[in-house]
Amino acid sequence: MAEMNFGGVIETVVTSKEFSLEKAREVLQNETIAVLGYGIQGPGQACNLRDNGFNVIIGQREGKTYDKAVADGWVPGKTLFSIEEAAAKGTIICMLLSDAGQISVWPKVKPYLTKGKALYYSHGFAINWSDRTGVVPPGDVDVIMVAPKGSGTSLRTMFREGRGLNCSYAVYQDATGKAEERTIAFGIGIGAGYLFKTTFEREATSDLTGERGSLMGAIEGLFEAQYQVLREHGHSPSEAFNETVEELTQSLAPLFGEKGMDWMYANCSTTAQRGALDWAPRFRDAIKPVMEWLYLSVKSGNEAQISIDSNSKPDYREKLNEELRQMRESEMWQAGMTVRKLRPENN
């Protein structure tokens, strides 16, 4: 554990300096890690763990993602099983199905949660909203979480590049007295950057807020608003897209990702700096009430319920794909496709 100063607040974090991969291997040497679900996080975590030398099996229903598991080298009957078979064999049972999928398989998995096993999550959802999910684990298993702060796709690609994705971790129930050690070892095993402590409740609320907010929902809303205003005032798609998205992802975001916002500002003109400094508080004040609304909608369980209801419908995947198609085919993102094609590295 290392004490770090986060903008004046001291927090305790874990990195592979304090908890090495060797130690993680030692802690989990007798465990069989059963990853249930092979969607986005399943492959990222399972492949990283396998490459790091842990004993991993997959539990996956037949279909597209089962085939993906086979293509990734998981062998039917050896390291790839049905959900029930993997749950029976696993000592750490990892719920990496979609949050709605976890609700429907819970009655099938629960009988295999025998004394001393660990029930592992990458989200606080199922446990925090147990009144809505019906997930109440038995009292004699550890209930633990490592929640990667990014896509499972990035977890894998960053691992392959020798980088790490930051993760939060939490222990909801420590039945064995070893839950925290098991959790941190797992986090190091999947290739965490640094691990910070949270609770299931805080992870669930911050995660749903972040993805609906600045990480996904708010950023798309911001892009659409600016793109539309530029287009309505006669600017070309190329100009509107460059001024809204392309410059941000290709030029400016890497600058503040690397050295902070003031560094990005300092590398822009004094005209840009003056205007951005004036307009940032206006945007903050306009957006903050919506953020507050969002947070309260998450906290009340409303957002979780919306997600459970929509994801449980038999045609939810088709409907979701249709919404994503509409986004992809909007003028802004079609313009983006052409802009991406024109990047010299893509020519």
Active site residues: 123
Of residues 19, 34, 37, 92, which one binds ligand NAD by CB under 6 A?
37
Q: Is residue 98 near ligand XAI by the rule CB under 6 A?
A: no
Q: Which of ligand XAI, Mg ion, ligand NAD, none has residue 181 at its interface (CB below 5 to 8 Å by kind)?
A: none
Angle between helices 270-299 and 302-311 (to 10 degrees): 80
> What is the C-alpha separation between 227 and 238, in angstroms, rounded?
10
Report whether 39 contacts 105 (CB < 8 A): no
Locate the DSSP E strands across 96-245. 118-121, 142-148, 165-173, 192-197
Interacting residues with ligand XAI between 198 and 257 (CB under 6 A) = 207, 211, 215-216
The correct pick among 25, 39, 89, 276 for binding ligand NAD (CB under 6 A) is 39
Under rule CB under 6 A, which residues in 150-179 are in contact with ligand XAI? 150-151
| Residue 236 marked ligand-binding | no
CA atoms within 13 A on the CB side of 1: 9
Rg (CA), the chain: 22
Distance (Å, rounded) from C-alpha 7 to C-alpha 64? 45
Find the part of the chain contacting Mg ion (CB under 5 A) among 81-89, 195-203, 209-217, 250-258.
209-217
Are 76 and 70 contacting, i.e. CB atoms less than 8 angstroms apart? yes
C-beta closer to ligand XAI: residue 31 or 207: 207
> How many residues lie near Mg ion (CB under 5 A)?
2
Q: Cβ 141 to ligand NAD, closest distance in Å?
A: 18
167 bridge partner residues: 148, 195
Residues 59-88 contacting ligand XAI, CB under 6 A = none
The two most distant CA atoms of the chain are separated, in Å, by 67
Q: To the nearest 10°, the Cα dihedral for 229, 267, 336, 344? A: 150
Residue from 23, 25, 61, 212 binding ligand NAD (CB under 6 A): 61
Write down the least CB distance from residue 303 to ligand NAD, Å: 12
Write out the binding residues for substrate. Answer: 269
Task: Give the residues lining the site for ligand XAI (CB under 6 A).
Answer: 150-151, 207, 211, 215-216
Write out the binding residues for Mg(2+). Answer: 207, 211, 243, 247
